[in-house]
Amino acid sequence: MDIPEPLRFLITAGPTREPIDPVRFISNRSSGKMGYALASAAAAAGHSVVLVSGPVAIPVPVDPNIRLVGVETTREMYAAVEARLGEVDVAIMAAAVADWRPVSVRPHKVKKSQQGDWVLHLRKTEDILGSAREPMGFHGLLVGFAAETENLEAYARDKMQRKRCDLMVANDVSQPGIGFDADENEVMVLQADGGIERLPRAAKTVVARELVRIIEGLSRQRRRTQAS
């Protein structure tokens, strides 16, 4: 049996937050559970993990193989990823990045007495996963997540190609009890070479172990191809 070689992982997890004023922000329902479960599973398998995490309410896994880099905004997550991608073999972008941020952040708390209806002007944030190959120059194994409510496989495959991933983990977020903020997940793992594997509904910790196993296999396969 092959003993997996230790790999260096970077994993993004949780939501990012985009401030509106000093006390308010835009964010999403991500709990960080999937990203944290992946970090735990990779570390338990002997790999080292840099966990780039947005603000979450769950505990950081206690494992000497896990180094936490805490961030808040999408810009901070982008910078943290960019600074560390050169040091890792595998990057898994499991974070639910805020897709838009206010064009301007109000410097003081907006008082209800001074503001009637409040129309926010939002602009797209940086696509961290979509920047990993270019301009960040990452050549390692790149794994993305696709949360969809329809056309799961087609949309996820399109996302995988656009963001130049080796693997795309797709889940149907219209199904109750899986995905966002849930303890369980049920995913379809798409490979860039056309391969597809379905992981049945299970605890995120179980799904995470399976994903680490798939990543180890793909990484071994790559090393063999590069060596021959």
CA neighbours closer than 13 Å in the CB half-sphere of residue 129: 28
Residue 188 binds ligand CTP (CB under 6 A): no
Number of residues this chain uses to bind ligand CTP (CB under 6 A): 16
Residue 144 binds ligand CTP (CB under 6 A): yes
**Other Cβ atoms closer than 10 A to 96:** 25
Looking at 53-61, 138-146, 196-204, 220-228, which segment touches ligand CTP (CB under 6 A)?
138-146
Task: Report the amino acid identity of residue 41.
Answer: A
9, 145, 204, 205: which one binds ligand CTP (CB under 6 A) = 145
Binding marks (x or -) toward ligand CTP, 77..116, rule CB under 6 A?
A: ----------------x-x-x-x-----------------
28 is catalytic: yes
Residue 211 binds ligand CTP (CB under 6 A): no
Give yes or no for a contact between 21 and 106, defined as CB atoms under 8 angstroms apart.
yes
Residues contacting 133, CB < 8 A, separation 6+: 142, 163, 164
Q: In the bound complex, what is the minimum distance in angstroms from residue 28's beta carbon to ligand CTP?
A: 10
Residue 146 binds ligand CTP (CB under 6 A): yes
Question: What would the 3-class secondary structure string for 116-160 be?
Answer: CCCCCCEEECCCHHHHCCCCCCCCCEEEEEEEECCCHHHHHHHHH
Residue 159 binds ligand CTP (CB under 6 A): yes
Q: In the bound complex, what is the minimum distance in angstroms from residue 223's beta carbon to ligand CTP?
A: 24
The DSSP 8-state label assigned to residue 169 in this structure reads E
Helix/strand/coil for 221: helix
Residues contacting 90, CB < 8 A, separation 6+: 7, 8, 9, 10, 47, 140, 141, 143, 215, 219
128, 207, 212, 218: which one binds ligand CTP (CB under 6 A) = 128
Return the residues of window 23-52 that contact ligand CTP according to CB under 6 A: none
Helix/strand/coil for 203: strand
Q: In the bound complex, what is the minimum distance in angstroms from residue 16's beta carbon to ligand CTP?
A: 8
Q: In the bound complex, what is the minimum distance in angstroms from residue 94's beta carbon to ligand CTP?
A: 6
Q: Which residues form the catalytic set?
A: 28
Chain residues that interact with ligand CTP, rule: CB under 6 A: 12, 74, 93, 95, 97, 99, 125-129, 144-147, 159
